[in-house]
Structure 1
Amino acid sequence: MTLAGLPLDFVLFALTLLGVALFHRHTLAVAVTGMVAIALYKLGFGDFAGVPGVQGLLGLLAHEWVTLGNLLGLLLGFALLADHFERSEVTELLPRILPDDWKGGFVLLLIIFVISSFLDNIAAAMIGGAMAHVLYAGRVHVGYLAAIVAASNAGGAGSVIGDTTTTMMWIAGVSPVQVFEAYAGAIVATLFFGVVAARQQHACQPIMRDNPRDIHLDHARLAIVAIILATAIAANVWFNLRHPEVLNALPVIGIAVWVALFATAGWRRPTWSLLPGALRGSVFLLSLVMCAAMMPVKALPAPTWATTFGLGFVSAVFDNIPLTALALRQGGYDWGFLAFAVGFGGSMIWFGSSAGVALSNMYPQARSVGAWLRGGWHVAVGYILGFAVLLAVVGWDPEGHARQKPSAPSVESPAPVQTQPHKP
């Protein structure tokens, strides 16, 4: 069935995204309603990747459950991790090393960028959000929140362990060196939006100038944070290198985070009361991921630098995981360009990446598309500038990557979630 020439399931998905944008105080209800409506329509009138009825739906769930499981484990686990980090009081020591003026906010964004390059964009955004909450006495500008998300996504765009989409490319056979070129655009974008956002934040609320007295650094909580992060990184690297087939069968990364959380709970008890709120945000994100997974995306336009540039804007409203999987099956892309486009592009709207969704759990005021676009306009401009530098300096060169074209079978199973999704 079609409406105005568009498949009805695409129309339902567009209405769901529009509802999220307009009714940001009811995003969970809108997302779940949209997911159920799309599923019911496809059960009655469509199919799931060519398989109709309940059998098709069950097949889709079997295909997606590893991605969903990893994402759920990371979102909930990193909510507790960020709380450990904040309660360690280490963020209250940052005024000693950060400049007192707007440059302090800029340096903080660079720290988030670096953390995301070797960790995960969800964790980097949530840790950055926790630090900003302390440094700015809880008064954080929406434009600066957008910059935190953009810095976390930019840092992961050139690293095969820093973002879900780049990990998918790695598993599919793309060399880490090919992905690394995305940093040419990511660094330029960060320098631009970082300066603008830092000045926005300084005008809204200056950075804390002096350390509070009676700070008692909790080394145990810092050690727990390090253990959880090291466990997630070790599981990611080990299974990617040694047993990639396990990553396609089990949500290994999410499980690793929770093993570390329970193993260290006797040392410092996590704030379990945070889980209900984190769960609501997680269900919202997973609902959007499932909506995207049910779309009948058959093919993309011929891969060129122009279509890849457009995918960055599509990624802001359409889940980047199925976009990346489809691009890998299609082949012919310059993978560094694609990594920057789908990895960073989701930063332009708060629900366009899992890092943005996770941060919005800490800052509900971020769940306004209008406020995000008005305050975070510099992220979109940074994307355009970064892509232009990629094109001018690196150059579109898919033929140079033909020797390492990813194989289609390895893409059929979703990659383990690091972050982001979505940059949901």
Structure 2
Amino acid sequence: MLKIFLGLFLTMLHLFASSSQSVSEVFPDITMTWVGISSLVIFVIGYYFIAAEDKYHVDKAKPALFIGTFMFMLIGLYYVLNDLDINILSNDMNHLILEIAGIFFFLYVAMTYIETLISMGVFDRLKYNLISKGYTYRKLFWVTGFLAFFISPIADNLTTALILSTVLITIDKNKKEFLVPGAINIVVAANAGGAWSPFGDITTLMVWTAGKGVFTDFFYLFPASFIGFIVTSFLLSRFVPNSKPAFDISKETKPELMTGANIVIALGILTIILAVISHQVFHFPAMWGMLFGLALLKLYTIRIVKKYNSPLNIFHSIAKIENNTLLFFFGILAAVGALYFIGWLGLAVVVYEPEMLGATWANIAVGLLSAVVDNVPVMSAVLKANPQMGLDQWMLVTMTAGIGGSLISFGSAAGVGVMGKMPGVYTFASHMKYAWTVFIGYVVSVAIWYLQYEILQISHL
């Protein structure tokens, strides 16, 4: 499967390179120079080591951080040697750093809240409430999947995936036949749920703010997203044991929540709302609202520590954050940003031409490509290329870019987040074992979109 995706990626790049008319007018076209070719080779090699994390036992953050920084160092060297305007590169890097910082700190705050809730016993209580009902592993699989699908449109797919993957490992840390399908199900559900909400995923937010559809237009993607998720979940559920977790309710004590846990949960919800307000109303980066929410959490801990002598320490929660996940995000986004700056991603518009793939097949391919590269820069490239498409095609690329990332474990922010929460369990290799179920769901989602938008022509009020 990896070879198929890499083959598709390289084939599309070859097609992009056949046209020079679509290259960004801002940056010099250096795709066919030594730095352009070498950067592409470096990216592919680095991507291989990221994908083969289990084989070489090299943390994915290391190759990602290396290629992300090294590629820009090469570009800088090329600009100096050829006496090009270094300010172009400097300005682009400043914009890239701002974009990465937005994701970096958003994830930083989300992880801090999750670790805080873990330390306060919230997930132990949720685990107790779920298992004490006598649910089997298979029923728990369905419950966590549905929660992910319906929470992600509000809380965003990344935060949702992080929360519910934590629930999985609190239920059972060792049963991989439950954890792996459950993790994939959560990633698929979170991405599918985020696809039909303007702020459920970064890509949908990008399309909405670019004016390609009004707020309610995205809700019409619900049938395609939901049915595709259900199909994948049904196939995955066949591999989940129907037995019950080892849990004797008569011998278990109901976990106690630390004082103030309910307030922290409320602050977490408020933080998500603040992030939306920060971005939509104030036009700040969403992470600004998240950081303000973190500040509120820190202030609240001062009160409960003084009033109730609580052992809660936010800095202890911060210390437990998976820094490798944060560094992986930085590295991979920097690497993709370098590919875009060089000109590889900016050439994507050529595939939308009727004599090439055409809009429908190009948008379907975008979903496959987003699993290999990352849906955010791929969607950014599509928006920058701005092919002439109607609402139906913009909704298609929104959906495919959103759910296509589920095809590979690190093809989406949700997948990367879950890999960080479940190291050694949810990996690239374990995901690819069941990737065919995700692909079938992807095909079903596209088929539902075609029936709804192209045949029945149901797309907006």
Would you call these one fold, judging by a TM-score over 0.5? yes
Letter in 1 for 2:200: G
Q: For the structure 1 residues 109 and 375, does the alpha-carbon distance in structure 2 shift closer, same or farther, using more than 3 Å as the test?
A: same
Partner of 1:21: 51
Q: For the structure 1 residues 276 and 31, does the alpha-carbon distance in structure 2 shift closer, same or farther, using more than 3 Å as the test?
A: farther
Partner of 1:197: 236
For 1:4-43, what aligned pairs fall within 5 Å after superposition? Answer: 7-24=37-54, 25-26=57-58, 27-43=60-76
SS in 2 for 1:159: coil
Distance in 2 (CA, whole Å) between partners of 1:316 and 1:367 is 16
The match for 1:73 among 105, 110, 116 is 105
Query: Is the deviation greater in 207-216 or in 383-392?
Result: 207-216
Partner of 2:274: 234
Are the aligned partners of 2:183 and 2:426 in contact in 1 as well (CA < 8 Å)? no
Letter in 1 for 2:130: L
Distance in 1 (CA, whole Å) between partners of 2:168 and 2:323 is 23
The match for 2:373 among 309, 318, 338 is 318
Distance in 1 (CA, whole Å) between partners of 2:433 and 2:151 is 27
Q: For the structure 1 residues 386 and 207, does the alpha-carbon distance in structure 2 shift closer, same or farther, using more than 3 Å as the test?
A: farther
Aligned pairs, number: 392
Letter in 2 for 1:270: I
SS in 1 for 2:433: helix
Q: CA deviation at 1:155?
A: 0.9
Distance in 2 (CA, whole Å) between partners of 1:60 and 1:98 is 55
Distance in 1 (CA, whole Å) between partners of 2:100 and 2:91 is 14
Q: CA deviation at 1:94?
A: 1.8
Q: CA deviation at 1:209?
A: 5.8
For 1:135-174, what aligned pairs fall within 5 Å after superposition? Answer: 135-140=171-176, 141-173=179-211, 174=213
Letter in 2 for 1:119: A
The match for 1:299 among 337, 342, 347 is 347
Q: CA deviation at 1:52?
A: 4.7
Letter in 2 for 1:33: F
Deviations 1:308-330 (A, max 9, x none): 11111101111212221222231
Are the aligned partners of 1:277 and 1:361 in contact in 2 as well (CA < 8 Å)? no
Q: How much is the aligned-residue C-alpha RMSD, in angstroms?
A: 3.0
Q: Residue 188 in 1 paired to residue 227 in 2? A: yes
Distance in 2 (CA, whole Å) between partners of 1:243 and 1:183 is 28
Query: Is the deviation greater in 299-308 or in 325-334?
Result: 325-334
SS in 1 for 2:322: helix
Structure 2 length-normalised TM: 0.77
Structure 2 unaligned regions, length at least 5: 1-30, 305-311, 353-357
**Bigger radius of gyration, 1 or 2?**
2
Are the aligned partners of 2:270 and 2:293 in contact in 1 as well (CA < 8 Å)? no
Letter in 2 for 1:40: M
Q: Residue 220 in 1 paired to residue 276 in 2? A: no
SS in 2 for 1:14: helix
Partner of 1:60: 92
Q: For the structure 1 residues 234 and 97, does the alpha-carbon distance in structure 2 shift closer, same or farther, using more than 3 Å as the test?
A: farther
Structure 1 length-normalised TM: 0.83
Letter in 2 for 1:147: N
Q: Residue 332 in 1 paired to residue 388 in 2? A: yes
Distance in 2 (CA, whole Å) between partners of 1:128 and 1:287 is 25
Distance in 2 (CA, whole Å) between partners of 1:201 and 1:275 is 34
Structure 1 unaligned regions, length at least 5: 402-424
The match for 1:44 among 33, 52, 77 is 77
Q: For the structure 1 residues 260 and 232, does the alpha-carbon distance in structure 2 shift closer, same or farther, using more than 3 Å as the test?
A: farther
Deviations 1:348-376 (A, max 9, x none): 11211111111111111256422211034
Distance in 1 (CA, whole Å) between partners of 2:107 and 2:321 is 11
For 1:267-306, what aligned pairs fall within 5 Å after superposition? Answer: 267=304, 268-270=312-314, 272=316, 275=319, 277-295=321-339, 296=343, 297-300=345-348, 301-302=351-352, 304-306=359-361
Q: For the structure 1 residues 62 and 397, does the alpha-carbon distance in structure 2 shift closer, same or farther, using more than 3 Å as the test?
A: farther
Q: For the structure 1 residues 81 and 113, does the alpha-carbon distance in structure 2 shift closer, same or farther, using more than 3 Å as the test?
A: same
Distance in 2 (CA, whole Å) between partners of 1:155 and 1:171 is 19
Q: CA deviation at 1:199?
A: 3.6
